[in-house]
Structure 1
Amino acid sequence: MTTRSTRSPGRITTAAMQPLLTAVRSSGADTGALLRGMGVDPSAFHEGRSRWLSALLTDRLWQTATALQPDLPLRIAASVEPSTFGLLTYLLASHDNTRAALVGLTRYYSLLSEATTYRLDIGARGACMTLDLHGPRPPSVESFAVAVSLCFVRRQALGPLVVKEVRLTQERPPGDLAGSHATFLGAPVQFGCSTTAYVFDRQALTVPLRRADPGLLVLLEEHAASLLAAPSACDLAARVRDQLAARGVDCSARSEDVAADLGMSDRTLRRLLRAEGTTFRAELDAVLAAAASELLARGGGTEDVAAALGFADAAAFRRAFRRWFGTSPGTHAAAVRGVTPRRR
């Protein structure tokens, strides 16, 4: 079995992850220990210090957090207010109506995340917001990406926002979670679709927003445009992940080899990664975890996946996998596929 050489799904700001960390913290979990276990410096999440993290890392955080609370992405999304994500949510809430807010979402979501792209298509009878979640992403992330935008606009609307249908690529979840999707999203939900999207009629686009403020909107859009136009200095981690993928994902990859590929010394690579709030080990783990999850989802056995990723044996792979995801490869694969694992 061989792995596909794919590019990283992108980056997400620590500010975008604050609501999730708050929810995890409120449940009594030690978020600092959780982050350190993933190779992330907890100081990266201090208020006022928003940094970019690999979506491979933040996806693992979502998976860990939702292992015991499957509807957590929906509950967090349903509680988002204009202050939740700062500039982006204040900006969207300041628009005149739902259509303007949704267009703003497609333009400015990259302030928070480069790992998901929104596209609004308006036809004669209705409108469709399509989401492109870059790379293979866990169901919890897809659910949140749909719910956070739809629930936010609905909460800001001064009238009913009727949604005809929500389409998710994930398989129908077990138990009551499918019903929770319909409840939180306020619309019929179709699972196993080819694309991620939600659909409503044209009248929904004209609903005014309760916090519309044209003057504030001008100022916020100017600020957002200046931020998006500024060059990003925090892109080394993404280059490291891309280089690891280009080499062929392997647990034995060495930082000095990747540093040489990137035209710098190993010491410089490690120093610059620390400045971005990460480490070579964390980035390698993120790439390995994503590759392992994808291969298992595609039906690979534990022994085959372990060999494909360069582990000495299946036992070593299982230990690493439990460190990444907090569960076994078999349990994780069953959850991703939406089936109940067989008991041995």
Structure 2
Amino acid sequence: MLEDQANDPAIVDQVLEKSGLSRDDLTSATYSAQKEALFVRFACDVLADATFAARAGLQFKSSSSLTAYISKYSRDLKQVLENASRFHGLIDPALMFSLRVAGNFAAIEAEWKDASYARYHRRTEFLLFAGLARLRDLTQSNFFPIEIRFQHEVGSSRNKYQRLAGFPVLFGAERVEIVLALSSLDLPVPTYDPKLREHLLEYGDRVIAEKRQPKQKLRAQVEGLITRSLPGAIIQSEDAAANLGLSARTFARRLKEEGTSYREIVEDLRCDLAQTFITNGMPLSEIAFSLGYADQPAFSTAFKRWTGQAPSAFRSRLDVSAKA
């Protein structure tokens, strides 16, 4: 889709290289979730279009994962979502999904298994819109959810997402979720096959039983704590250590063993999120508050130290690229 929109294969190769990927990686499907997230981000940047990831998600249909095959042979949308909750962890190290039915609506809730991925707003948007597109394809029904909700903000770009989706899209929400009418759960899956589904469920359970969960690096856990403490004041090093059941000395030593420090993690995350927030169209004063700075000048000084340019200059460059 990027190649079609950019109309230049060289641009795709540039984005791939910047993300640490190659075309061979895409063919063999050996790339990591982080590299995928970077690719989605840089694709949006090169097109100067924050909504590109969401648009790409809405075009998503086929999938060859075990979860996809179990869904294909499920009875209805409710069964699809129950199976996705059970097996999605096999294909995504960052998110887990669960189905919540309450009152007169149902919600597909996404929770961070690794909250360090919360910084990749474009990938989160892609995943939720791709999930909706997949559900539409499975049921052969172009149904509309009540609302899709994201925890991050997109500033002045809100209306673009609304127009793209054709239904309410909420940002700055408490949860990442797709809210559905209860009647949507009864939508049938035309390819339903109970025998195939049962066979695949048994196989899926064996895969889960045999799969060892990789131990999460301390840095990833720390990034998750910092991300959850935003917007506003950033959690202090001592509090982060206590939250993870470590003494301050052990905490610092283990981060050093991973080649980093708490301050470096905070600065890296702030720099990364600042650029994302500016791309999202958020006012600089709001970004300064969100990242825990006392005022906008303090944030601007830090941003110039990170990138070599003022936030206003960074935003102007984005505007020029968008007009071009």
Say yes or no: TM over 0.5.
yes
- Compute the displacement of 1:121 (Å): 0.8
Q: Which of 121, 133, 138 lines up with 2:100 in the alignment?
A: 121
- Compute the displacement of 1:33 (Å): 4.4
Distance 1:29 1:244, change over 3 A: farther
Whole-angstrom CA distance in 1 between matches of 2:298 and 2:77: 49
User: For this pair of structures, how many residues does the alignment match?
Assistant: 270
Whole-angstrom CA distance in 1 between matches of 2:143 and 2:151: 23
- Compute the displacement of 1:329 (Å): 7.0
Whole-angstrom CA distance in 2 between matches of 1:290 and 1:22: 30
Distance 1:26 1:239, change over 3 A: farther
Distance 1:99 1:23, change over 3 A: farther
Matched, 1:47 2:35: no
Aligned residues: CA RMSD: 4.4
Alignment of 1:148-227 (within 5 A): 148-159=130-141, 161-174=143-156, 178-184=159-165, 186-227=166-207
1:330 alignment partner in structure 2: 311
Matched, 1:37 2:26: no
Whole-angstrom CA distance in 1 between matches of 2:255 and 2:164: 49
Matched, 1:63 2:41: yes
2:9 alignment partner in structure 1: 28
Matched AA of 2:204? A
Whole-angstrom CA distance in 2 between matches of 1:61 and 1:289: 19
1:90 alignment partner in structure 2: 69
- Deviation string, structure 1 residues 166-192 (Cα, Å, up to 9, x no partner): 2233335535x63444543x4222333
Matched AA of 1:64? F
Does the aligned pair in 1 maintain the 2:300–2:310 contact within 8 Å?
no
2:52 alignment partner in structure 1: 72
Does the aligned pair in 1 maintain the 2:149–2:171 contact within 8 Å?
yes
Higher percent of residues as helix: 2
Q: What SS class does the counterpart of residue 80 from structure 2 fall into?
A: helix
Alignment of 1:250-269 (within 5 A): 261=257
Whole-angstrom CA distance in 1 between matches of 2:105 and 2:221: 43
Does the aligned pair in 2 maintain the 1:302–1:329 contact within 8 Å?
no
Whole-angstrom CA distance in 2 between matches of 1:223 and 1:192: 39
Q: Specify every segment of 5 or more residues in structure 1 that has no aligned partner in the other structure, as ranges.
A: 1-19, 249-256, 263-279, 320-327, 340-344
Q: What SS class does the counterpart of residue 209 from structure 1 fall into?
A: coil
Distance 1:290 1:203, change over 3 A: same
Distance 1:156 1:331, change over 3 A: farther
Matched AA of 1:106? S
2:322 alignment partner in structure 1: none
- TM-score with structure 2 setting the length: 0.64
- TM-score with structure 1 setting the length: 0.61
Matched, 1:143 2:125: yes
